[in-house]
Amino acid sequence: MDAYIEQAGLGRILAKVREGERLSLEDGEQLYQHPNVLALGALANIVRERKNGNQAFFIYNQHINYSNICTNLCKFCAFGREKDHPLAYEMSVDDVKEKVRERLDEPISEIHMVGGIHPDLPFSYYIDILQGIKEVRPEVHIQAFTCVEIYHLAQLNGKSVEDTLDELMAAGLGSLPGGGAEVFSPRIRQVTCERKLSGEGWIEVAKAAHKKGLKTNATMLYGHIETVAERLEHLDALRKTQDETDGFLAFIPLAFHPKNTAMAEHANTTGINDLKNIAVSRLMLDNFPHVKAYWVMIGPKLAQVALSFGADDMDGTVKEEVITHMAGAETEQALGHKTLIRLIQEAGRQPVQRDTLYNVIETF
């Protein structure tokens, strides 16, 4: 493999990767511009196997989107709605509890819960839905509320992000998902999501969570108007934050789905772009333990291939995914754990069912 990578003209970067030396933004630029995706994958696979061996993780999880009512109305999003829109919805605390109750017979270890920036639900609602989930399923790990939602909840609560996190943790919050990061560049945010918390704001909330011992994930929404330089600046900001806090668990590149959004003129991402983002992020984010190939976004078949291009995690069973499907995703809304195991085994990796914090539940 090394000879192949060298022949592709990537010998200098290969030497750095072998030495465990940090890649520069210029290296990242060279990787993104490189036409040979197999050589990029082979390079990323060195880091992937150094960190995670032959293991490929998945989780038994359930997604709950408590409301799509949102005041941010980002142009790339087909999920958020204004309050009076016919498709707007909001779940009561009992609705959320019922969603959890419906699947009590399944060995779900994590509930992944996010929603829009709702204009008038009170702070107590968020405490109540956390407590309600714990009442129905006390042992489950709740990974909920992006950094953008946490900032909004702190404003609702009239307290600091730190104090608000304490209250949410006491009610059952276990970790934060990685959404809302988009691309940190102010240019991109100005064009696509001008009302959203800034990139600096997102990072400040993540740091506050990490300082409390709350683990969080991070994402990047690629495949729209962002430049390669803006992607690399985003990765660099995450890498610097991780140097400081060591609180990120996984990075998840999110492929833009344009259908039903205000940016519907864009084409869907291609398989090569998807694999490049997995590979380059694995190489740049040298201090992130995990990179996910989120099958909902890139499809189970490409996610399987991505396990040899830097990714070591396929996310999970999910069930009832809404955000990407509103934007035209043609993937399934759920995968059975047997399917996940088969996808991983056929990719030549060892399936490992994990919990949210990557403790091993079962190896197959």
* Residue 271 backbone dihedrals phi, psi, to 5 degrees: -60, -40
Q: Which residues contact 41 (CB under 8 A, 6 or more apart)?
A: 275, 279, 308, 309, 310
Residues in the chain: 364
Nearest approach in angstroms of CB 19 to ligand V47 is 31
Residue 215 or 349 with smaller CB distance to ligand V47? 215
Q: Which is nearer to ligand V47, 27 or 313 (CB)?
A: 313
Shortest approach of ligand V47 to residue 30 CB, angstroms?
27
Please say which residue, 76 or 358, places its beta carbon nearer to ligand V47: 76
Question: Alpha carbon of 279 to those of 48, 93, 150: distances in Å?
Answer: 9, 41, 30
Q: Which helix (H) or strand (E) holds 341?
A: helix 337-346
Q: Specify the residue, 132 or 177, whose C-beta has the smaller distance to ligand V47.
A: 177
Distance CA 357, CA 250 (A): 10
Residue with Cβ nearer ligand V47 (42 or 317): 317
3-state secondary structure of 55: strand
Q: Report the nearest approach of ligand V47 to the CB of residue 77 (Å).
A: 4
Closest CB to ligand V47 among 42 and 202?
202
Residue nearest to ligand V47 (CB): 179
Closest CA to 323 of 119, 115, 138, 153: 115
Q: And the tokens for 290?
A: 């995990």
Q: Cβ closer to ligand V47: 100 or 323?
A: 323
The least CB distance from residue 117 to ligand V47, in Å, is: 11
Site for ligand V47, rule CB under 6 A: 76-78, 146, 177-180, 182, 217, 219, 221, 250, 252, 254, 256-257, 261, 294, 315, 323-324, 327
State in angstroms the smallest separation of the CB of 6 from ligand V47. Answer: 35
Minimum distance from residue 257 beta carbon to ligand V47 (Å): 4
CB 10 → ligand V47: shortest distance, Å? 29
Closer residue to ligand V47, CB minimum distance, 250 or 275 = 250
Smallest gap from Cβ 182 to ligand V47, in A, equals: 5
Which residue is associated with the tokens 């030495």? Answer: 19
Q: Describe the strand order of the beta sheet including 55-59 as a list of residue ranges.
A: 313-316, 55-59, 350-354, 360-363
Under 8 Å between Cβ of 300 and 37: no
Which tokens hold the place of 90?
Answer: 């909001």
Contacts of 164 (CB under 8 A, 6+ apart): 123, 150, 153, 154, 157
CA distances from 168 to 64, 145, 150, 173, 248 (A): 17, 10, 9, 6, 19
